[in-house]
Structure 1
Amino acid sequence: MAPYVTSWSAEYDLPCALVERPDRSIGHATELPGDRDRQGVLWKQVASHRGQGRPEFGKVHPLRQRRAMERLLCQVCGNPADQNSDGVLWLQVDHHDDWPGWPERMASTEPPICRPCAALSTRLCPALRRSGASAVRVREFPIVGVRGALYRPGALAPIAAQAGNFAYGDPALRRVQASALLRELRGCIREF
């Protein structure tokens, strides 16, 4: 079985047109109730057909990623992530050579994980075996922004200009179509 947040081949971008709104923000021509988060940020419309077709490992389904991050669900099984007095468990690719103090204050798009799935993932996931991963207990993990595509005005419709991470409160968010939620990891303790 594929991880909870993994996209499947039957899950495709919905054919929705992006439009300029009168306030110079972007929107979907026909917005659905879940198209914006609590901060008013526009989210990518993607079909949800989990388990149909083939798993597309390495491609994350935006709405399941968002749900797992908001509710602190395990990114692999979709059940509650492991939590104890030291914090919530996260499995992160080890970047301690690139990031002084890694993973402290790092923004992560990876949802937390439960203990059984952490052990299974480090054993079975080729990407984690290749790059190395560490289990980290995190005491504070505020939602700080989104990863997505920034759009500039175009002659007929908004045009994708650049992808990146955008903090809540950034004025550019009015022109971003989000694909992942970001949490900042604080109070980190390496577990294994």
Structure 2
Amino acid sequence: MWSEEAVREPQLVERRGGAGIAYADEILGDRDSRGVLWDRATVASGRGKPQFAKIHVHRQRRAMRKLLCQVCGRPAHGDDRGVLWLLRNRTGDWRGWPEGMLVSEPPVCESCLALATRVCPALRDEGHLVAQAASCPVHGVEGFRYRAGAGRPVPVENELVSFIAPAIRWTLASKLVRQLHNCTVLEVREGAAAT
């Protein structure tokens, strides 16, 4: 996000019959084709200062949907081994990682790979892994889940929710999530914190 952009916080209400959450002033563009409710944000790309720790909901969703580079917005690198992903190094999480991993960070293009690893504090501190995934289907969303309350929805927690989970009706989405399959690891680097 840029400093001139902001996430809007309109009033949430419960849908009739306990069918999930909605905006009190909901418009057609607030939901995607699956009926998932999305955060609202102003758009002022390039205005003000970049806020690297904050992700713009609309640009993230577009980049994940179209497999665009998270840095430059052009098509991510892809070849017969799949789409290129730059991930924080979590090789100790499970055997075969990142196979099956759920990701909300968009892929990258080859041109932006070196820049991203150099300027991103998380990638420098924690290390990184570069991999290609032959398959990376859209899985669900990351967002804040709510539950029914006394007249208005009650926030529960931020989590990853599959499109087929009943909780999707109660989730205010902020990021689109894909799952990585048939991964080829190209590079693993330890971070500054590990040395």
TM-score range, shorter chain: over 0.9
Q: Please give the residue correspondences for 1:12-23 in structure 2 after superposition, counting only pairs within 5 Å.
A: 12-23=6-17
Please state if 1:31 is matched with 2:1: no
RMSD across aligned positions (CA): 1.2
Q: Does 1:142 align with 2:122?
A: no
Q: Which residue of 1 aligns with 2:46?
A: 51
Q: Which residue of 2 aligns with 1:4?
A: none
Matching of residues 85-104 of structure 1 within 5 Å:
85-104=80-99
SS of the equivalent of 1:60 reads: coil
* Structure 2 equivalent of residue 11 of structure 1: 5
Residue 161 of structure 1 aligns with which residue? 156
How far 1:8 sits from its partner (Å)? 1.4
Distance of 1:189 and 1:88 partners within structure 2: 10
Q: Distance in 1 between matches of 2:157 and 2:58?
A: 21
> How many residues matched?
186
SS at match of 1:100: coil
Structure 2 distance, partners of 1:153, 1:12, is 27
How much does 1:11 deviate?
1.4
Deviations 1:2-34 (A, max 9, x none): xxxxx1122112241111111321111122332
Q: How does 1:173-184 map onto structure 2 within 5 Å?
A: 173-184=168-179
Could you tell me which residue of structure 2 aligns to residue 68 of structure 1? 63
Q: Secondary structure at the match of 1:76?
A: coil
Partners of 1:127 and 1:163 lie apart in 2 by: 20
Unmatched segments (≥5 aa) in structure 1 = 1-6
CA distance 1:15–1:147, shift in 2 (3 Å): closer
Partner of 2:191: none
Alpha-carbon deviation of 1:156? Answer: 4.2
The superposition leaves residues 51-93 of structure 1 with CA deviations (integer Å, 9 ceiling, x where unpaired) of 1222111111111111000000000000000011111101011
Deviations 1:157-192 (Å, cap 9, x if unpaired)?
212111111111101111110011110000000122
| Aligned partner of residue 114 in structure 2, secondary structure | helix
Matched, 1:127 2:122: yes
Structure 2: unaligned runs, 5 residues or longer: 188-195
1:116 aligned counterpart, secondary structure: helix
In the superposition, the TM-score normalised over structure 1's length comes to 0.92
